[in-house]
Amino acid sequence: MIVEMRTGASKKEVDDVVQKAKSLNLGVQLNVGTDKTVVALLGGNTGQIPTDIFAIFPGVESVTRIMKPYKLASRTFSPKDTIVDCGGVTIGGEKVVVMAGPCAVESEKQLMQAAEAVKKAGATILRGGAFKPRTSPFSFQGLQKEGLELLTKARDEFGMPIVTEVVNPQDVLLVSSYADMLQIGSRNMQNFSLLTDAGKSRRPVVLKRGFSCTITEWLTAADYLLAEGNNQVILCERGIRTFEDSVRFSLDISAIPVLKKNSHLPVIVDPSHAAGNYSLVPAIAKAAVAAGADGLLIEVHPNPKEALVDGLQSLSPSDFARLMDELRAVAKSVGRSI
Amino acid sequence: MIVEMRTGASKKEVDDVVQKAKSLNLGVQLNVGTDKTVVALLGGNTGQIPTDIFAIFPGVESVTRIMKPYKLASRTFSPKDTIVDCGGVTIGGEKVVVMAGPCAVESEKQLMQAAEAVKKAGATILRGGAFKPRTSPFSFQGLQKEGLELLTKARDEFGMPIVTEVVNPQDVLLVSSYADMLQIGSRNMQNFSLLTDAGKSRRPVVLKRGFSCTITEWLTAADYLLAEGNNQVILCERGIRTFEDSVRFSLDISAIPVLKKNSHLPVIVDPSHAAGNYSLVPAIAKAAVAAGADGLLIEVHPNPKEALVDGLQSLSPSDFARLMDELRAVAKSVGRSI
Amino acid sequence: MIVEMRTGASKKEVDDVVQKAKSLNLGVQLNVGTDKTVVALLGGNTGQIPTDIFAIFPGVESVTRIMKPYKLASRTFSPKDTIVDCGGVTIGGEKVVVMAGPCAVESEKQLMQAAEAVKKAGATILRGGAFKPRTSPFSFQGLQKEGLELLTKARDEFGMPIVTEVVNPQDVLLVSSYADMLQIGSRNMQNFSLLTDAGKSRRPVVLKRGFSCTITEWLTAADYLLAEGNNQVILCERGIRTFEDSVRFSLDISAIPVLKKNSHLPVIVDPSHAAGNYSLVPAIAKAAVAAGADGLLIEVHPNPKEALVDGLQSLSPSDFARLMDELRAVAKSVGRSI
Amino acid sequence: MIVEMRTGASKKEVDDVVQKAKSLNLGVQLNVGTDKTVVALLGGNTGQIPTDIFAIFPGVESVTRIMKPYKLASRTFSPKDTIVDCGGVTIGGEKVVVMAGPCAVESEKQLMQAAEAVKKAGATILRGGAFKPRTSPFSFQGLQKEGLELLTKARDEFGMPIVTEVVNPQDVLLVSSYADMLQIGSRNMQNFSLLTDAGKSRRPVVLKRGFSCTITEWLTAADYLLAEGNNQVILCERGIRTFEDSVRFSLDISAIPVLKKNSHLPVIVDPSHAAGNYSLVPAIAKAAVAAGADGLLIEVHPNPKEALVDGLQSLSPSDFARLMDELRAVAKSVGRSI
């Protein structure tokens, strides 16, 4: 942590900062320049100490954190890639894993048709929402427990592990008893109560990026899951909010190499929620694989025109099958397989 | 809702859209232009119908929603200003209400000193956090139940109603049994489970804006509270995330007149979390009052240098007293009082 | 264009809007709903008429534009893909074109080494900046005319057409007399005087996206070039400004399919300026090709450590050669070649 | 400048960084921690040295700039507030200066009516656009030279100095020969050729903030003007691009105290372009004065319904007169006058 003193800061002001640092067991090195003094604070936990503690002192111009605030999610903490096991399917290895299915579980017929289609096309994990976080209280909120039951039925029928979202700490136990993997949605990335409870479950967790959170905040949120002893965490980039209005969210493609550099956790991409439009999904999905994503989360609906939620971003079974062929070629070109 | 057909869309494609609209009991008017056909869909609930339902049809170029997705929070629904009563203090009337106190309750001494100072300077509601949503699991998480007890002690001692944050649906009952008013933080604006439970409590609620949520999404989130029959809702602008890095968040000053135009709910402003720096708080607070805010939420700490959380954005008691004098002058200049 | 009247707007208010529309030769269709009246305005030029003209009328709630404001750059105007010819190299066809070279021309030796390296690795157009738009007046501003002369020397030596930036309308003639293709930088995307003059030159133009401009604004800016009768325009996505701070700019990968859908112009991607860091360039470059980009603009420096400008984002010759091999594989996987 | 070495960086890697720093005449202090080495580079010009120069070295994790990149615009450079004189009206002193008039000069009658109205209501500088930078080439581009002539006519008639925009370096001489003060628009904030030429003119300059530029970039752009020896520069905040869509741009109210802290230049605010809607202008204008702005730039049109450009954001003469009364009260409440 670097504390820059103001031009003309007094010796007493510098001393007060040094004193405070020592009281926190930090190493201190003074850099006395011609114009100003810069104080370097050293110690393994400077990533977790709030910069405010020093910025508030008289005579301080700025405080800059050098260490990252996240710890357990960092590649420094765990240099080797983490492999996540979801019901026998491994994410983070050579294979690019495709998780597909409807945005919301709507009915047995709809879910079974979707499951059959995505299985046939080569997806290995089934996705489907039972608890839906909706922006308006007057929208369809999901089939909830009934949806979970239908998902397990589809798992048994098609032999695919299932991933589904949990939105309330109170539901973590319930959802964990049905699902192979929990999903924490974008709006809940910093729902720390939910993260803590999900971390305590024995399930792997897909942690979606908050649509306006930095990668640093995202990895720090992952620390909440990891701190509970659960290292089975997958990061899912799903688009960030920008000024561009031709898509729902702008997929942050550079998040993939940045995460690979700074973290040991597997990274997947959800092109469907980013684009908000089925016609843009193939280009984004191929880009994600080319950039090094370990998997994809894609919405497929047997009949998008009848979807209760997010029909426009859902692929039809035939579009999905065509995309899977294209993705296989791209994966191969970067030394991986699907 | 306006459905724009593609240039060259077939009669059948237009008919399919019309058919779908009729099946949803919407009125339909066709506008056949020289280049393209535009279909207007009419009906009171077009604000709640997803645009995807039509955008997915072949031959559709775009779907534009004209009605807002929020309902109960809109000024159309309730043309008269809502007045909120927090333990006898009314928000939304002629008076500009100042709520002040420490970011986090740290100890009895700290809280009592803060309460005494803000009361003396003219604040009428005491703020203080007992449950703290922290971005890192390794940071101080608040005194929790003990913090709530200290807050009620301060209330009894100084005769000020108290507002405090709730972060978990499971805690709503507990926090409601202590606090005069609940606060829902920025990161929980779209925590719909929490909103529903807070709406069910009999307490007034301060709903902070998600730092990357639009005003439309904010008012739609307020609908979750209002839908539970609780109309005692205050909206709190606290800064939005932008590219500007000289502040923590950019206070959206125009949110005040926009909300006043589109909603009946009182609007307050938190300059402390926006600025992230005490030296910027006075200018922003005065601007908020000049722009028509019904109140302010300001962080005050008896000794900012010793604060465990957010010390840099906290005012000292003397800075706060000086600001209150300045705010009284500005309030008077726009026909209000503090 | 859709004009939504306020609930309770008077007949006279509606009539005034209708009258105004008729005075502009627009077709009008009234949609009288139970709550409110919506007026649809029809006509080929509604994309160019300011919405303000109607929004200002009493009784109007909102005005929504359905037609796009750009015309000549739209796919509707020219359904067939435009192919650009830069000194014999065609952009927009089956081949993915790689333009590479140093950020700034620094010296003859540096430029010749860079040109030789990129040519050998398979790039077909040489890039290099002679006029550098720098954020600070105290930074290196480029070799200017001397830089242009060195570029033509490299062209002659290595047989590669050259592309270079022009920043001032006064320099368009000069730069055009040296360069095969002009580049208009991100900060000048809405420098309309420069666009007009560049459009008048007989050179093809690479128009970089303003780092905070929407795709709609970008295509409308391209109209300035096209309106001068110059259809040799290439769009270059180079990253947009977002809140994410791990990169200089966030590359907007979905811009590629969005542009392909809405425009006939070729699309290329500059991964170097987006990432700001050489280690992220390969992942982004591969993603761009997988998403359908027609070309790449990549910074290569014979000795990045000695670069006067943007050394961190420059690839070394050996890194570039390795990337070219990877890009060939990705291009092939999506049915193209390099 | 702080260079953080990677964990495990070799002694040679550290030495190379130190060597490079010494070759640039920078002071060096090594901070060898238990985990990693941090190198502090000291010297008066570290604000202008690109961080890339060090970031590119092997073994470097990150480089953080402590000094600001701007120099002449900084308060450190010139601790005393700069006062700008525009034809006898001073900006930056006790008085809050209101500059008002139409967005575009449309005709003699329109301009004279506007000038008369704003003069009567208390504005002291007349604004009006003769050269209009329009996003589409098919929109009205301003009366150009004829507009300048009308402006001088209005100046003579009403005794008010005039400010008008210049968009092309080639026009600086022409516009300077008519106008008392030049305006550089948001889209040209980083048009460095234009800045240089405007700096060379003998006119004071209003430099509007680029709608997606940071305050640091803005002050660095101001350095281009100041570097030409012209210290008569006014900064104008006019809204930044965010995700919020209820306004055209979000006015960055905290820019006012941030600029007052970091720069000596006067700060004015344009509420009209930010809001994009006349009904929001009064609240924002009052907020700006309360926050400490030295002036306002407000669009007034004698008949907004007939405006050729930006009618919706223009105040009518009666609305403007009412606002001026309100502004006088707010100015007084913060110890200033209008």
CB contact under 8 A, C242 and A254: no
Secondary structure class of B88 (helix, strand, coil): coil
Task: Answer yes or no: do B11 and B157 share one domain.
Answer: no
A190 belongs to a structural domain = yes
Task: Answer yes or no: do B146 and B272 share one domain.
Answer: yes
CA dihedral A170, A175, A181, A185 (to 10 degrees): -50
CB contact under 8 A, C29 and B31: yes
For residue A209, give the chain C residue with the closest CA. Answer: C244
Q: Does A62 touch chain D (CB under 8 A)?
A: yes
Q: Does C246 touch chain B (CB under 8 A)?
A: no
Chain B hits for C42, Cβ within 8 Å = 31, 33-34, 38
Of B246, B258, B292, the CB nearest to D247: B258
Residue A246 corresponds to which amino acid? S
Selected residues 63-102 of chain C with any CB under 8 Å from a CB in chain B: 64, 66, 76
B305 belongs to a structural domain = yes
Tally of CA atoms within 13 A in the half-sphere of A238 that contains its CB: 26
User: Residues 6 or more apart from C142 whose CB is under 8 A from it?
Assistant: C104, C105, C129, C130, C131, C132
Chain A hits for B212, Cβ within 8 Å = 211-212, 241
Task: Answer yes or no: do C120 and C55 share one domain.
Answer: no
Residue D261's closest CA among D47, D74, D77? D74
Q: Does B305 touch chain A (CB under 8 A)?
A: yes
CB contact under 8 A, A168 and B55: no
d(Cα D243, Cα B211) in Å, to the nearest integer?
A: 10
CB B33 within 8 A of CB C39: no
Task: Answer yes or no: do C109 and C48 share one domain.
Answer: no
Q: C109-114: which pairs have CB atoms within 8 A and are 24 or more residues apart?
A: C110/C301, C110/C302, C110/C303, C111/C150, C111/C151, C111/C153, C111/C154, C112/C153, C112/C154, C112/C157, C113/C302, C113/C317, C114/C300, C114/C301, C114/C302, C114/C317
Secondary structure class of B190 (helix, strand, coil): coil
CATH code assigned at A205: 3.20.20.70
For residue D244, give the chain A residue with the closest CA. Answer: A243
Query: ipTM exceeding 0.90?
Result: yes
CB contact under 8 A, D136 and C212: no
pLDDT of residue B137: 83
pLDDT in tens, chain C (338 residues): 889 888 889 999 999 999 999 998 888 888 777 677 888 888 777 878 888 889 888 899 888 887 888 999 999 899 999 999 999 999 999 999 999 999 999 999 999 999 999 999 999 999 999 998 887 887 888 999 999 999 999 999 999 999 999 999 999 999 999 999 999 999 999 999 999 999 999 899 999 999 999 999 999 999 999 999 989 999 999 999 999 999 999 999 999 999 999 999 999 999 999 999 999 999 999 999 999 999 999 999 999 888 887 788 999 999 999 999 999 999 999 999 99
CATH code assigned at D48: 3.30.70.1140
pTM exceeds 0.90 for this model: yes
pLDDT digits (tens, 9 = 90+) for B168-197: 999 999 999 999 999 999 999 999 999 999
| Parallel/antiparallel/unpaired status of strands A89-91 and A84-86 | antiparallel
Selected residues 309-328 of chain C with any CB under 8 Å from a CB in chain A: 326
D177 belongs to a structural domain = yes
CB contact under 8 A, D246 and B240: no
User: Which of B209, B249, B252, B254 to probe by mutation at the D interface, max D CB count within 10 Å?
Assistant: B254
Q: How many domains does chain A have?
A: 2
A246 belongs to a structural domain = yes
Which chains share 3+ C-beta pairs under 8 angstroms with B?
A, C, D
pLDDT digits (tens, 9 = 90+) for D275-319: 999 999 999 999 999 999 999 999 999 998 888 877 889 999 999
Chain C hits for A209, Cβ within 8 Å = none
Task: Answer yes or no: do A165 and A243 share one domain.
Answer: yes
CB A56 within 8 A of CB A44: no
**Cα-based distances in Å from D280 to D125, D267, D312:** 22, 20, 11
CB contact under 8 A, D55 and C312: yes
User: Residues 6 or more apart from A157 whose CB is under 8 A from it?
Assistant: A112, A115
Task: Answer yes or no: do D88 and D57 share one domain.
Answer: no
Task: Answer yes or no: do C58 and C172 share one domain.
Answer: no
What is the side-by-side order of every strand in the sheet holding C60-64?
C27-32, C37-42, C2-5, C60-64
pLDDT of residue B29: 82
CA dihedral D98, D103, D105, D107 (to 10 degrees): -100
Q: How far is C243 from chain B (nearest CA, A)?
A: 5
pLDDT of residue A126: 98
Chain C hits for B6, Cβ within 8 Å = none
Tally of CA atoms within 13 A in the half-sphere of A224 that contains its CB: 25
For residue A314, give the chain B residue with the closest CA. Answer: B56
User: Residues 6 or more apart from A335 whose CB is under 8 A from it?
Assistant: none
CB contact under 8 A, A305 and B56: yes
Chain D hits for B292, Cβ within 8 Å = 283
CB contact under 8 A, C283 and A289: no
pLDDT band with cut points at 50, 70 and 90 for residue D133? confident
D79 belongs to a structural domain = no
Residue B55's closest CA among A248, C331, D39? A248
Q: Is the pLDDT of residue A32 over 90?
A: no
Classify residue B211 by its DSSP letter: T
Q: How far is C29 from chain B (nearest CA, A)?
A: 6
Last residue of a domain, one of B29, B64, B99: B64
Q: How far is A280 from chain D (nearest CA, A)?
A: 21
CB contact under 8 A, A246 and C253: no
pLDDT of residue A139: 80
Task: Answer yes or no: do D179 and D325 share one domain.
Answer: yes
d(Cα D156, Cα D112) in Å, to the nearest integer?
A: 11
pLDDT digits (tens, 9 = 90+) for A113-129: 999 999 999 999 999 99
A305 belongs to a structural domain = yes
Q: Does C56 touch chain D (CB under 8 A)?
A: yes
Tally of CA atoms within 13 A in the half-sphere of B294 that contains its CB: 24
Q: What is the mean pLDDT of residues B100-113?
A: 96
Q: Is the pLDDT of residue B32 over 90?
A: no
B77 belongs to a structural domain = no
Concatenate the DSSP letters of all residues of A24-55 into one string. Answer: TT-EEEEEE-SS-EEEEEE-TTTTTS-THHHH
Task: Answer yes or no: do C6 and C101 share one domain.
Answer: no
Of A42, A64, A245, the CB nearest to D31: A42
Of all helices (H) and strands (E), which one includes residue A77?
none
**Cα-based distances in Å from A130 to B189, B190, C316:** 21, 18, 50
Q: How far is D94 from chain C (nearest CA, A)?
A: 32
pLDDT digits (tens, 9 = 90+) for C3-51: 988 888 999 999 999 999 999 888 888 877 767 788 888 877 787 888 8
d(Cα D161, Cα D101) in Å, to the nearest integer?
A: 12
pLDDT of residue A301: 95
Q: Does D50 touch chain C (CB under 8 A)?
A: yes
Classify residue A75 by its DSSP letter: T
pLDDT digits (tens, 9 = 90+) for C126-163: 999 999 888 788 788 899 999 999 999 999 999 999 99
The gap from C-alpha A94 to its chain's centroid, in whole angstroms, comes to 20
Provide the domain limits for residue C174. 84-333
Of C62, C66, C212, the CB nearest to B38: C66
Q: Does C289 touch chain A (CB under 8 A)?
A: yes
Selected residues 179-218 of chain B with any CB under 8 Å from a CB in chain C: 212
pLDDT of residue B90: 98
Task: Answer yes or no: do A112 and A253 share one domain.
Answer: yes
Chain B hits for A139, Cβ within 8 Å = 48, 50
Q: How many CB atoms lie within 10 A of CB C177?
A: 11
A338 belongs to a structural domain = no
Of B214, B274, B291, the CB nearest to D254: B274
CB contact under 8 A, D193 and C309: no
CB contact under 8 A, D287 and B245: no
Separation of first and last alpha carbons in chain C: 44
User: Which of B243, B245, B249, B250 to probe by mutation at the C interface, max C CB count within 10 Å?
Assistant: B243
Secondary structure class of C130 (helix, strand, coil): coil
Task: Answer yes or no: do C23 and C95 share one domain.
Answer: no
d(Cα A92, Cα C272) in Å, to the nearest integer?
A: 27
CB contact under 8 A, C42 and B34: yes
Separation of first and last alpha carbons in chain A: 44
D38 forms bridges with which residues in the sheet?
D4, D31
Task: Answer yes or no: do B140 and B29 share one domain.
Answer: no
User: Residues 6 or more apart from A241 whose CB is under 8 A from it?
Assistant: A211, A212, A249, A250, B212, D243
Q: Does D241 touch chain A (CB under 8 A)?
A: yes
